Amino acid sequence: MSTKKHGESELDRRGFLKCMAWVGTGAVWTMAGGVLEGMPLEGAMHGGMAKHMAGGGLRFAQISDSHIGFDKPANTDVTGTLRAAIAKIKAAPEQPSFVLHTGDLTHLSKPSEFDALQQVMSELGLPVFYVPGEHDVLEDDGRSYLQRFGKGTQGAGWHSFDQGGVHFIGLVNVVKAGGLGSLGSEQLEWLEKDVKRLKSSTPIVVFAHIPLWSVYPEWGWGTDDSARALSYLKRFGSVSVLNGHIHQVMQKVEGHVTFHTAMSTAFPQPAPGSAPSPGPMKVEADRLTKMLGLSRMSFHDVNHPIAITDVPLQEDAMATGAKDIVVDNFSFAPSTTAVAAGTAITWTNKDDVPHNIVSTELKFKSPVLDTDQQFTHSFDAPGTYKYYCSLHPKMTGQIVVG
């Protein structure tokens, strides 16, 4: 498609907590060498993103799980919250070139729902690239979805395009009988051919509905043949995989591949294993818009990071101007954090053994922290600050100040 419009193991307790540390936050992520880095939303909204994007660059946004047609107590106005997400995009100081929608456009695949979604998305005034969710293919084998949103795509809606030096790949993993998501042999063969012509230095962005890593197989939160798909991307130095489906932010880095799931614009879902089953989760009215949102992305060139900003529809005022890093299981979570100048970072040792935080350039150093002890340092000057634990030197992290 042209640029025309159109086996991981189950998470252990500590690994899960690391991923869930991102839920509900507004953080800008930057990718360098396959690793995402973050910046608080406040920094992005006040020009932090512009510093990363000096001299131009590619910007795009991700919307997911709009579920137009849903009207249950978890959110009786999903059209309104989708419009709020669109307003966030339009209000950004740097406008994106296009938007990715990672599926579950509708709730029941009804023609009226597709029409409503199309009308609302047209308010963006931007090109939108789609992949379907399982809620979009409930009727007529997904033909209604393809007629409206899949023109120029192949098979069940997979496609690729190039933009700003980045190769984008939209995959479909929801046309299945049940259980885990599946890509299927035909699509996998297409993917292998699609990337074969690309240089290994080409940044890759894959977007699909169901996560391409095993978030929680008991709930179908994974894709059974994702390992084969990812094997075709091993030679690339920068791969980002963007998904929806689970209605919450989770992030994982495996070598040069970063996996990132987005919030829904419709309703939250429970954390894996915290409820008998997945599904719409009702929360207090004042919490709902803090658990819904979108993601903003930017890319400058191969020597600069790709940035993913998780943007809640409504931010918690207490969440800006500070950032927390958890020290646990002999690692820093997140290991890379991007912030605006003037942000204070607090490390909290949740491990059963002592650790410390030492700048590799000796710009800051904490005392030895026992369990539940903290260390805070304010970062006022732009730059990249690498650090480690001198007691356990394999523990490393970095702070990127924009």
What does the pLDDT look like over 338-386, one tens digit per residue? 777 788 899 999 988 999 999 999 999 999 999 989 999 998 888 889 9
Q: Which helix (H) or strand (E) holds 82?
A: helix 78-91
Judge whether 100 and 207 are in contact, CB under 8 Å: yes
> What's the burial of 200, exposed, middle or buried (CB within 10 Å: 0-12/13-18/19+)?
exposed
Decide if pLDDT at 28 tops 90. no
Decide if pLDDT at 299 tops 90. no
Judge whether 327 and 369 are in contact, CB under 8 Å: yes
User: Residue 8: which pLDDT band, with cuts at 50, 70 and 90?
Assistant: very low
- The predicted pLDDT at position 138 comes to 95
Decide if pLDDT at 23 tops 70. no
> What's the burial of 148, exposed, middle or buried (CB within 10 Å: 0-12/13-18/19+)?
middle
Decide if pLDDT at 55 tops 50. no
**Which residues, 6 or more positions from 334, have their beta carbon under 8 angstroms from its beta carbon?**
18, 21, 22, 38, 251, 325, 397
Q: What is the mean pLDDT of residues 69-82?
A: 97
Judge whether 54 and 310 are in contact, CB under 8 Å: no
Q: Using the structure block, give the residue that is written with the tokens 């849903």.
A: 70
CA 325 – CA 21 distance, rounded (Å): 9
Q: Is the backbone peptide bond immediately before 334 cis, with ω within 30 degrees of 0?
A: yes
CA 280 – CA 65 distance, rounded (Å): 11
Summary mean pLDDT of the chain: 83
- The predicted pLDDT at position 179 comes to 82
CA 182 – CA 14 distance, rounded (Å): 28
Task: Kindly state the DSSP code that residue 2 receives in the 8-state scheme.
Answer: -
Nearest CA to 204 out of 192, 193, 195 is that of 195
Q: What is the mean pLDDT of residues 72-83?
A: 97
Strands 239-243 and 204-207 turn out to be parallel
The DSSP annotation for 57-78 comes to -EEEEEE----BT--STT-S-H
- The predicted pLDDT at position 341 comes to 77
User: Residue 263: which pLDDT band, with cuts at 50, 70 and 90?
Assistant: very high
CA 115 – CA 104 distance, rounded (Å): 14
CA 163 – CA 382 distance, rounded (Å): 29
Judge whether 335 and 395 are in contact, CB under 8 Å: no
Q: What are phi and psi of 33, to 5 degrees?
A: 60, 30
Decide if pLDDT at 34 tops 50. no
- The predicted pLDDT at position 226 comes to 96
Chain segment 146-166, per-residue pLDDT in tens: 999 999 999 999 999 999 889
CA 157 – CA 170 distance, rounded (Å): 8
Strands across the sheet containing 159-163: 159-163, 166-170, 204-207, 239-243, 257-261, 250-254
CA dihedral 197, 29, 48, 299 (to 10 degrees): 10
User: Residue 315: which pLDDT band, with cuts at 50, 70 and 90?
Assistant: low
- The predicted pLDDT at position 164 comes to 86
